[in-house]
A = this chain, B = another copy of it.
Amino acid sequence: MILDGRMVANLRNGILKEKITSNNVKLKTAIIIVGNNEASLVYVKNKIKAAKKVGIETVLYHLDEETTEKTLTDLIGKLNNDKTIDGILLQVPLPSHLDDYKFINLIDYKKDIDGFTTINQGRLFQKLPTINSATPQGIINLLNHYNINVSGMNAVVIGRSQIVGLPVAKLLTDLNATVTICHSRTKDLSLYTKNADLIVVAVGSPKLLTADMVKEGVIVVDVGINRVNGKLEGDVDFEGVSKKAKYITPVPKGVGPMTINALLENIYKIKGGF
């Protein structure tokens, strides 16, 4: 069965829009992008469009590739203090002369809609109320929609990034799954995946997970987005693995829309405090 991220995201976006309009909530988010990384520009455009659709206002700060540390620091400081701004999103990666995490951590954690600041990730680690980063939260929302209870499951997360692998592993552990974090130095990946009830793949490597590596009835969540011969593909060999999987996300229209939805929900959530 397909875990239809697009459909679920649309439903949740609809509910969010209804909440925003019927309660007449004013939400305004600042989006900062530095330079002209093509993929980043597309992501930002999509976020602005999605926000508009549910009634969230965005203000775009498109800074020059050569922006100095001081300029960016000052802008984030100004937005932190601006009471009309509810959320701040700093699109990464920044140009190489600017350190991503240094500037992410300048954002007031109460406006950190990406959930990337040290405080918000520390709060995730300590199981305190927080803003979770959008992709991990979107994955949990998707599993929830299909009433997939991960408690007691043998779960394998492939990839240990701070924005997907590690937080999704933490969230699954909090939901009582037994989680193994695999990565590039894992010796025999299939040793872990073959016994897994749930596999989350977040590596960025096409066809990393193939049918021979999974058991019948597995649940597969594919976070990868790879462009192969002009076509979008995930990290999973969908054709093969989907024959054995009980549930599987497609790429596109799986985790992607759930990520955008979770980001929008974060903006709403952050306004209420946490």
0/1 string, A90-104, CB within 8 A of B gives 1 = 000000000001000
Q: Are B181 and A179 in contact (CB under 8 A)?
A: yes
Task: Kindly specify which of A25-33, A69-77, A124-132, A230-238 makes contact with the partner chain.
Answer: A124-132
Number of residues of chain A lying within 8 A (CB) of chain B? 35
Q: Are A173 and B152 in contact (CB under 8 A)?
A: no
Residue A176 contacts which of B176, B183, B192 (CB distance < 8 angstroms)? Answer: B183
0/1 string, A123-167, CB within 8 A of B gives 1 = 111111000000000000000000000011010000010100010
In the complex, A162 Cα to B128 Cα: how many Å?
A: 11
Question: With A176-B183, A178-B192, A187-B152 given, is the CB distance from A166 to B122 under 8 Å?
Answer: no
A121 interface contact, C-beta 8 A: yes
Residues of A within 8 A of B (CB): 101, 117-128, 151-152, 154, 160, 162, 166, 169-170, 173, 176, 178-183, 185-187, 191-192, 195
Name 13 A/B residue pairs within 8 A (Cβ), A-sorted: A101-B126, A118-B123, A118-B128, A121-B126, A122-B123, A124-B125, A125-B162, A151-B185, A169-B181, A173-B183, A178-B182, A178-B187, A191-B195
6 nearest A-B residue pairs (beta carbon):
A122-B122, A118-B122, A176-B185, A180-B180, A178-B186, A121-B125
